[in-house]
Amino acid sequence: MRQGTLLCFGVIFASALGVCFGASPASAQQSRAKSTPGSPGIISGLVKDASGVPQLGATVELLAETPGIIVTRQLLTNTQGLFKAGNLQPGPYTVRVTLAGFLPALEKHIQITSNLTTVVRIELESLYASIEQLRRAPTNAPVESDDWKWVLRSTSGLRPVLQWHEQDTEDSSSVVADTGRARQLGRIEITGGARRPGSVSNIDSSPGTAFAYDERIDRDNHVVFAGQVSYDDESPAGGLAAMWLPTGSLQNGPRSTMVLREAKIGPDGPIFRGVRLEQSGTLNFGDNSFLRVGGEYVLVGAGSSAWNLRPRINWESRITPNWYVDAMYVSLPADVAYNDNTVSDLIEGDSPTILATALNQLDSFPALLWHNRKPVLENGRHEELAVERKLGGGRSLFQIAAFHDDNSHVALFGKGNDLPGGEYFQDFYSKGFAYDGGSSVSWGARAALRERISDDLELTTIYAFSGALVPVTTPEGPLREVLRTLPRQSASVKLSGRVPVTHTRLTAGYKWINGTALSRVDPYGESVYDVNPYLHVGVRQPLPWTILGRWEANAECDNLLAQGYVSMAMNDGQILLVPAFRSFRGGLSLQF
């Protein structure tokens, strides 16, 4: 009865957030990329049908998306299918095209930039396009070229590309917005290994298969489905996720997510069940500031249940063209993707893919712990004030941040046998366990530099100091009674690159910590910059196979040298505590 009441409350909460944010999609990244307002811009475009024939007499409407700017233009295409409008204030616009005999076309978040001409190519589909799609033979779309000079991110289906045409004699250049880029519809992964060994809340180490499929409702509206199932006979597990993107954009528009997960803990153990409901959105405030707001409701249990609400809010503001200030409040552990955060936006990193993001939702539950024989969830809050400075024409970003971490339940991981079930949550497959280390409060700071040395090589260096849980004496009772939060320093370096000929993507990083630490030092910074304690190596290799789609082999190894392990003698036996397991995860993936 209690679980049903909590689940209903979570559904109502997520629905209310969806109403709040679903009606106000904003182009957050575009507001950062805007030129100084005042100088007008130009838009020019070509309207054609699916066969490439220019369309005469199509009605083109231009609608400004920037609050406070009321601009509505109506144009007609000429005999060559072309249209053009000038004297437009910089900012995002919506272009709507209608023509008798064709389905209406709507392109959102097209950026008009000062002293530049934005060129759009719009393809109209006939009223019988749905039937024609069913009859059309599948094609292998060419991979998007890597020769573009600079990509200005907007929605996932529309990526304006800025090219400086040196042969032009006019003062303005052009922004080409190609709306016809092929989109990956599905992804299948066959993998083995766990990202978080010892946590029953997350995908275990047994071999499994995961899939994701992007279902387009209309031109921008998408629903992405994902699922995962493991093959272990004694500890089967699986999960399903659905992610709704009303504007087709991960970064800018609202996003609603629902995740269900179930796993059996051993042949005679309980069944873990989890539900996660998440809603997020972005609100724009003028040309230089925007607010990312979101939250999630998590309900998990194995016999008895635990739940919590996990809000997050992030205010980002541009002070000058190269200086930015961010203030944030997020719940820990932070569900932050490496290529979908403020730092990645400012350095113009690769856009997060929708399919990969949907698959990651399956492995995003906080760890389930025991505390005095009652289930609790890994939980805390992180408050941060950061200043960023762009360097080297936008190819480098330097960040200084001060933060405060307040954890009510810190998840510690380790290995041991025959431990008391009321305190240690044992993972049947890996023989690891999760333990509630209690509360931990600390202040910290971070200085980080992320630099794109070339188009194929990137360097990240980080120095941070913060608090971590450390054992101060030999325990005679519960382990958490001898844990204290002590200051720790860390230094990290990471290299990410791509081999030009083979297109192999390599990642190697090392994070040094100046002493024993059972919990993570600056866990939020680890998520943002994608670094892990000690030595981490990752390889992604495209394969020459073309059957069904694009194949890729991948392998990741965390804490390759098995550093940071702490052995402790308990009344219940010997245990081994680790801030990060030495673990391996690898397999094959197919994109089509």
Q: What is the pLDDT of residues 8-31, one digit of tens each?
A: 434 334 444 343 434 333 333 344
Summary mean pLDDT of the chain:
80
Rounded average pLDDT over 139-161: 35
Please tell me the predicted confidence (pLDDT) of residue 140: 45
Domain boundary among 143, 178, 213: 178
Q: Which residues pair with 512 in a beta bridge?
A: 491
Rounded average pLDDT over 97-112: 86
Owning domain of residue 89: 34-178
- H or E element at residue 360: helix 354-361
Q: Answer whether residue 61 is part of any domain.
A: yes
If one compares 585 and 339, the residue with the highest pLDDT of the two is: 585
CA dihedral 391, 500, 344, 256 (to 10 degrees): 160
Please tell me the predicted confidence (pLDDT) of residue 420: 76
If one compares 134 and 105, the residue with the highest pLDDT of the two is: 105
Q: Answer whether residue 189 is part of any domain.
A: no
For tokens 């025959």, what's the residue?
A: 418
In tens, the pLDDT along 60-78 reads 999 888 766 666 788 889 9
Burial of 123 (0-12, 13-18, 19+ CB in 10 A): middle
State yes or no: pLDDT of 162 exceeds 80.
no
Q: Answer whether residue 573 is part of any domain.
A: yes
Q: Answer whether residue 183 is part of any domain.
A: no
Please tell me the predicted confidence (pLDDT) of residue 150: 30
In tens, the pLDDT along 279-292 reads 998 888 877 888 98
Q: For the chain, give the longest Cα–Cα distance.
A: 87
Q: Answer whether residue 46 is part of any domain.
A: yes
Domain boundary among 153, 178, 203: 178
Q: Answer whether residue 270 is part of any domain.
A: no
CA-CA distances (angstroms) from residue 305 to 2, 264, 397?
Answer: 9, 15, 43
Whether residues 368 and 492 fall in one domain:
yes
Please tell me the predicted confidence (pLDDT) of residue 216: 82
Q: Answer whether residue 29 is part of any domain.
A: no
Rounded average pLDDT over 130-157: 39
- In this prediction, residue 211 has a pLDDT band, given cuts at 50, 70 and 90, of very high
Please tell me the predicted confidence (pLDDT) of residue 217: 82
Please tell me the predicted confidence (pLDDT) of residue 352: 66
Residue 308: closest CA among 408, 439, 424: 408
Q: Answer whether residue 221 is part of any domain.
A: no
Instruction: Quote the CA–CA distance of 438 and 440 in Å, as a whole number.
Output: 7
Lowest mean pLDDT among 146-155, 287-296, 358-367, 380-389: 146-155
Report percent pLDDT > 70 for the chain.
Answer: 79
- What is the 3-state composition of the chain as percent helix, strand, coil, each rounded to the nearest 5? 10, 50, 35
CATH of the domain at 39: 2.60.40.1120
Whether residues 171 and 312 fall in one domain:
no
Phi, psi of 489 (to 5 degrees): -110, 150
Total domain count, the chain: 2
Whether residues 174 and 283 fall in one domain:
no
- In this prediction, residue 560 has a pLDDT band, given cuts at 50, 70 and 90, of very high
Whether residues 346 and 456 fall in one domain:
yes
State yes or no: pLDDT of 275 exceeds 90.
yes
Contact by Cβ (8 Å): 425, 200: yes
Q: Which residues pair with 557 in a beta bridge?
A: 537, 584
State yes or no: pLDDT of 6 exceeds 50.
no
